[in-house]
Copies of this chain bind each other. A is one copy, B any other.
Amino acid sequence: MAKGGSSYRISATPVTIFVHLLAISIATLSLVWLIKFREGFAFNSRIKAKIFNLHPLLMILGFLLFSGEAIVVYKAIPANRKAQKTVHLILHFIALAAGILGVYAVFKFHNEVHLPNMYTLHSWIGLSTISLFGLQWLLGFFTFFYPRAESTTRANMAPWHAFFGIVLFFMTIVTAETGLTQKFIFQGLLRSQEALMINFTGLLILLFGIFVGLSVILPRRNY
């Protein structure tokens, strides 16, 4: 995907810096939202909303932000290819682990308050995303990391790995936006401080997606 980058006359560096700033903003905004406007977090509690809150926490701060940071690693870290690959792999592994725990949290919440599972578009796209993400991670691990495929196979697989990675990241953004939309309406929000918190979180997540995408097509710096 980076090949077309020569047509763009700016480097990816300022874009990756902006991605980090957006990540910090999204993390801050959603923590303030969940702690100050909602009930905070707990894995076991009589206040069931605390169990639910683990879901957006783990999905946004864990799955979404770590996925994005894993994608920009190739443009953001001044290191050799092997080091970049290792960080890419580790960040995606943290994302996957947080994502699985985040899915578990919302199932636990639904079961404890006797709500049905898996009836919304958000849940359908979300579960597809994380399942395919797990598959992509395993395929990537065995092809590019250990034991590694032959170099021609790797060269053929690399653009598809990048394309499916971007698709999964795009699906992650869609899942986050539909999730925030659902939460907004289930809470019966209209115009309020909390409504603004949720909407701005959604806007920043959209920008995060756009700038991660831009970092992919811009040329990397020469080290």
CB of B121 within 8 A of CB of A163, answer: no
A-B contact pairs, 10 of them (CB 8 A): A1-B4, A120-B199, A121-B181, A121-B203, A124-B202, A125-B206, A170-B170, A170-B213, A181-B181, A182-B185
CB of B3 within 8 A of CB of A171, answer: no
Main secondary structure on A side of the interface with B: helix
CB of B2 within 8 A of CB of A190, answer: no
The answer, yes or no, to whether A184 is at the interface (CB within 8 Å) is yes
The answer, yes or no, to whether A159 is at the interface (CB within 8 Å) is yes
Residues of B close to A184: CB separation below 8 A: 120-121
CB of B4 within 8 A of CB of A4, answer: yes
In the complex formed, the residue of B with least CB distance to A178 is B181
Query: In angstroms, how far is the closest chain B Cβ from the Cβ of A38?
Result: 17
Q: Which of A156, A163, A173 has the most CB of B within 10 A?
A: A163
Residues of B close to A122: CB separation below 8 A: 181
In the complex formed, the residue of B with least CB distance to A195 is B119
Task: Tell which of B1, B119, B174, B199 touches A206, judged by Cβ atoms closer than 8 Å.
Answer: B174
The answer, yes or no, to whether A116 is at the interface (CB within 8 Å) is yes
Residues of B close to A7: CB separation below 8 A: 3, 158-159
Interface residues of A in 1-60 (CB under 8 A from B): 1-4, 6-9
Complex Cα spacing A213 to B170, Å: 11
In the complex formed, the residue of B with least CB distance to A171 is B206
The answer, yes or no, to whether A81 is at the interface (CB within 8 Å) is no
The answer, yes or no, to whether A210 is at the interface (CB within 8 Å) is yes
